[in-house]
Amino acid sequence: MSRIEGYGVKKLIAGSLAAAVALGMYVLPVQAQLNPFTRAGFELSQEDINLLSAAAKKLYIDESVSVGTVETWSNPKSGNTGSVQLLGTFDYKGLPCRRLQHDIRIKDVADPFRYLFDRCKTSNGEWKLL
pLDDT at 76: 97
pLDDT at 110: 86
Is the whole model's pTM more than 0.85, yes or no?
no
pLDDT at 2: 45
Give average pLDDT by consecutive 10-residue segment, the chain, 130 residues.
Answer: 46 45 39 45 87 96 94 97 97 95 92 91 92
pLDDT at 63: 83
pLDDT at 41: 63
- Taking the CB of residue 68, how many other CB atoms lie within 10 A of it? 9
